[in-house]
Amino acid sequence: MASTNAAPTSAAGKEAHRTGAPSSGVRVSARTRILGWSMLLLTVSLLAGAAATHVLLNGRADARIAAELQHEVDEFNALPAPSAAVGSGVTAKLRVATARAVPESEIVLIGVVNGQVYAVSNGADGTDLHLPASQLAEMSALSGPSEGNMTIAGHPARFATLPVRVAGDPNHGAFITAVMTGPERSAVWRITQLQLEVGAASLLLASFLAWLAAGRVLRPIRATTTLARSITDADLTSRIPVRGHDEVSQMASTFNAMLDRLQNAFSAQQRFLADAGHELRTPITIIQGNLDTLAPTDADEVETLAIVAEELSRMTRLVDELSLLAASERPDFLRPAPTDLGALAISLTAKAQALGDRGWRLHSTMIGWAMLDAQRITQAVMQLAANAVAHTRNRTVVDLECLSTPAGLSFQVIDHGEGVAFQDRSRVFDRFTQLNPHRAERTGLGLAIVKAIAAAHSGSISLTETPGGGASFALQIPFRAARSPARGPVTAVAVGSIS
């Protein structure tokens, strides 16, 4: 009856296989992906804006520093010749140039004579500048203007140097105008840091608002997912509320239209099954009655009549099963009642014994009372047991296990027969599925009925491979506790064999 891998086949599992749903992997919601991409774009924009601002401010600072240097150079070139009282020569000219008042603390005027600091603006001490002697000597020897970067008292600065020469004076002098760049650069970094801090705060606020907005936009999609999961063959009436006229609303409307078509098609199918069962039952009864009145004497007639009677019996069974499947969708299909689980387990094994000469073994851990439809459960388990009989040899051991598990109640029929091929596992519970076409007495509806009974109990039916070969069918339903209708002994069963 079954030869499968150890993986169970259930209605939910088959649906996941048919829809191509992933069985493993990290699940990332669309809302999270939208937020992630939005935050990535905003973060890149923030960093790009901060970088552009930093470059722009640095460029402006460089331009201002260059303008300051040029201004001081122009003023130096515009200085009049020193008066007789001051003296003449290189030193006199540098003394006059550096004696000018410089209001900006970032500007330093330096006079260098023969590689030594001679004068500094604002009366500062030249030794505090910590200028390298090699650099001072190089500046004194310049023959033309020069610009560059230097360090003054440990702080970065931008400088412009002019050589100072006076005819008749052998001294080599240099006028240095330096602008301290540290304050400008620090101001630029503070502005950039402030921009990043404000941007980060805005990014957090934007992420929160984007999360809310994405949730609102995707709400119809979540409603569609929830509705799709809740839809069953017995209830196709739910619909998604449609608000607005955007693409998501159009998707909801399309989904609702699809449900309308499914509901109409399913209703038509159910009406056809019910009508077919009803309309066929009357002519079958009439034919059966007429066959019963016949008394053939010829051997050929007897054989023909037997064949007709057998096919009529098969047709009767098919009509009964079609009617049962149609009835399984009605609310009154189940009639739950308090059921003694121990007595049910014994009853199942006793009824299974009548199906065929097999080594029936009962293993039960069920005790107490549960609310279920004992007649439907018996019908389902007997169908599984009949399958086991049909696919095993005489005296083959067949285990019937009635177990109480944390997940609920489990009714299992385990055989050691021929099994079901792996490629047939996904369709074994479909209607009109016959894995062996040579078995004309089968209708292909038995396991579909078992599946319908399991679904009506909010349960499932699964198929696994029996170790050593064979099939293990498990009907699992939730446990709903019930009180005993009358006080009396509780039936308990453990392990036993019934031959």
How would you write 131-151 as a 3-class SS string? CCHHHHHHHHCCCCCEEEEEE
Given this model, what pLDDT does residue 19 score? 46
344-351: which pairs have CB atoms within 8 A and are 24 or more residues apart?
Answer: 344/374, 344/377, 344/378, 344/402, 345/400, 345/402, 345/493, 346/491, 346/493, 347/378, 348/378, 348/381, 348/382, 348/385, 348/400, 348/402, 348/411, 349/400, 349/498, 350/498, 351/378, 351/382, 351/385
The tokens for 23 are 């069985």
Percent of residues in the chain assigned helix, strand, coil, to nearest 5 = 50, 15, 30
What are the domain boundaries of the chain? 29-217, 247-327, 335-498
* Region class of 153: left (phi > 0), else alpha (psi between -120 and 50), else beta: left
**364 in helix, strand or coil?**
strand
Strand 107-113 with 337-340, pairing: unpaired
Which amino acid is residue 123, in one-letter code? Answer: G
Contact 400, 349 (CB under 8 A): yes
Given this model, what pLDDT does residue 2 score? 41
Given this model, what pLDDT does residue 205 score? 92
Given this model, what pLDDT does residue 104 score? 65
Given this model, what pLDDT does residue 93 score? 82
* Angstrom distance (rounded) from CA 42 to CA 200: 10
Given this model, what pLDDT does residue 294 score? 79
Classified by CATH at the fold level, domain 335-498 comes out as Heat Shock Protein 90 (3.30.565)
Given this model, what pLDDT does residue 441 score? 54
The arrangement of strands across the sheet holding 460-465 comes to 460-465, 471-477, 408-414, 397-405, 359-364, 495-498
- Phi and psi angles of residue 4, each rounded to the nearest 5 degrees, phi first: -135, 170
Strand 359-364 with 397-405, pairing: parallel
Contact 162, 112 (CB under 8 A): no
Closest CA to 111 of 70, 161, 170, 68: 161
Q: Return the exposure string of 1-36: e unless at least 16 CB atoms fall within 10 Å of the residue's CB, then b.
A: bbbbeeebbbeebbeeeeeeeeeeeeeeeebeebbe
Closest CA to 404 of 367, 349, 360, 373: 367
Closest CA to 318 of 461, 432, 176, 437: 432
Question: Does domain 247-327 correspond to CATH entry 1.10.287.130?
Answer: yes
424-432: which pairs have CB atoms within 8 A and are 24 or more residues apart?
Answer: 425/2, 425/4, 425/5, 425/9, 425/463, 426/9, 426/14, 426/17, 428/2, 428/9, 428/463, 429/9, 429/11, 429/14, 429/461, 429/463, 431/325
**Does the fold of domain 335-498 match that of domain 247-327?**
no
The tokens for 127 are 């030794």
Given this model, what pLDDT does residue 486 score? 67
The tokens for 80 are 């009049």
Given this model, what pLDDT does residue 331 score? 67
Q: Note down pLDDT in tens along the chain; length 499 residues.
A: 444 444 444 444 444 444 444 545 567 788 888 888 889 999 999 999 999 999 999 999 989 988 988 888 888 888 776 665 556 788 888 888 887 766 566 888 888 888 888 878 765 666 667 788 788 888 878 878 888 888 887 888 888 998 888 878 888 888 888 888 888 888 999 999 999 999 999 999 999 998 898 888 888 778 777 877 777 665 677 787 777 777 777 888 888 888 888 888 877 777 776 776 667 777 877 887 877 887 777 888 788 888 888 777 777 777 777 777 666 766 677 889 999 999 999 999 889 988 989 999 989 988 899 999 999 999 899 999 998 998 888 889 999 999 998 889 999 999 998 888 777 877 888 876 766 655 555 567 788 889 989 988 999 999 988 998 889 999 999 999 888 776 555 555 555 554 4
Closest CA to 466 of 405, 403, 396, 408: 396
Given this model, what pLDDT does residue 372 score? 94
* Angstrom distance (rounded) from CA 106 to CA 71: 14
